[in-house]
Chain A
Amino acid sequence: MKSLDRARAKPTTVIMLTPFLDVMTTLLIFLIVTFAPDEAKIEVSSAIQLPKAEHFLKGVPSVRIEVTESSLRINGKVIEGTSPTDPTSTTWNLLKTAIDEVRQKEDQRVLVVADKATPFRLVDLTVAHLSAAGFSDIYLLTEMKESAIALNGGPQ
């Protein structure tokens, strides 16, 4: 009889998790977006297969040039009328105009993205024109070798 009385007297405990989880969801999304590494924000066309290397990217430049045999892209947008195989000034003037539109002041770094099967002459020609446009630091985007990731643990 005693035990029955004690059970009746105790209040039922219900933990309300819903508001807590709402806050956590918002917080988690905010943290992911804010603290995602810059490398994770680099978008590369699905058709491009990057060559592999063992070195981390030292920062992410504001200008990203994608070189394919048929076109040039700047920060993911195709520069209409360009063809890297064309050595005449038409293509390269268009590139220069596009660079001036997106380039941030004082940034002399540029990220060059090309498929691993691309002939080097296209990369070479692009770098020559980027150099003429005032870029002094050329970063070639690569994919990290698995062995390098395992060894170093992640970007430094």
Chain B
Amino acid sequence: MKKLKRQTQEEIHLNLTPMMDLFVALIPFLIISASFNALGGIDLQAPAASAGHTAEDQKLSNDLWLMFEVKENVVSVQGYEKDFGRERPQIKGEFNSADLEKFKNFLASLEGGSWKMGPSLFHASPETRYEQAVSFLNVIRGAKNVTQIVMAAGVVE
């Protein structure tokens, strides 16, 4: 009697074949199309003509324009008055790529002052490796008060 009951019970089959077909096609597609390395970027400004200024403007302002000069694995920073007029001797530093934390702290220390930050100029010597330049640019871009980085590219004939 028990056997008969089992035989007559309703059987529900879930047809998994199309779903498996789908996944077999989908998985290689996703693997191939996946971007394994997330891409990022650093935005810079190309050099443009300056509007000019008066000597009086410079005297009164607390503008700070920074210039970053990379030579191989060393970056030197120099602060200037507006439009890179006169040097600000108190804003100066030199940092090695092996110790980017110091460079980061130097830039962070400028955030607290009453400086009105202008554009920053970035230049790297021809022999500098691109990777090295990007590692410094990465720190500069990360500084909160550095809003605009102008790349001092070579002169075109």
Contacts and interface: CB of A to CB of B under 8 A. Distances in A.
A45 to B, nearest CB: 13
Interface stretch (A74-82, A98-106, A135-143): A135-143
Contacts of A130: 46
Contacts, number: 177
Interface residues of A, number: 66
B40 A143 contact: yes
A39 interface: yes
A53 interface: yes
Nearest to B42: A140
Nearest to A121: B126
By secondary structure, the B interface counts as: mixed
A17 B135 CA distance: 53
Contacts of B70: 120
Interface string A115-135: 111111111110111111001
A7 B8 contact: yes
A40 B48 CA distance: 32
Given A4-B4, A42-B39, A25 B46 contact: no
A73 to B, nearest CB: 16
A138 B43 contact: yes
A42 B35 CA distance: 10
Given A25-B26, A128-B156, A131-B153, A57 B128 contact: no
Contacts of A7: 8-10
Contacts of A149: 38
Contacts of B27: none
Contact of A128 (B5, B129, B132, B153): B153
Most buried by A among B14, B35, B129, B131: B131
B154 A125 contact: yes
Interface string B120-157: 00001111111111110110011000000001011111
A140 to B, nearest CB: 5
Given A10-B10, A17-B18, A21-B22, A53 B126 contact: no
B26 A28 contact: yes
Interface string A23-49: 011001100100000011010000000
A31 to B, nearest CB: 12
A142 B46 contact: no
Contacts of A22: 18
A24 B11 CA distance: 27
Interface of A: 3-4, 7-8, 10, 12-18, 21-22, 24-25, 28-29, 32, 39-40, 42, 50-58, 89, 92, 111, 114-125, 127-132, 135-144, 148-149, 154-155
Q: Which 4 A-B pairs have the closest CB atoms?
A: A121-B126, A57-B41, A131-B46, A116-B131
Given A15-B14, A143-B39, 8 more contacts: A21-B19, A52-B138, A53-B135, A57-B40, A114-B130, A127-B44, A137-B44, A148-B40
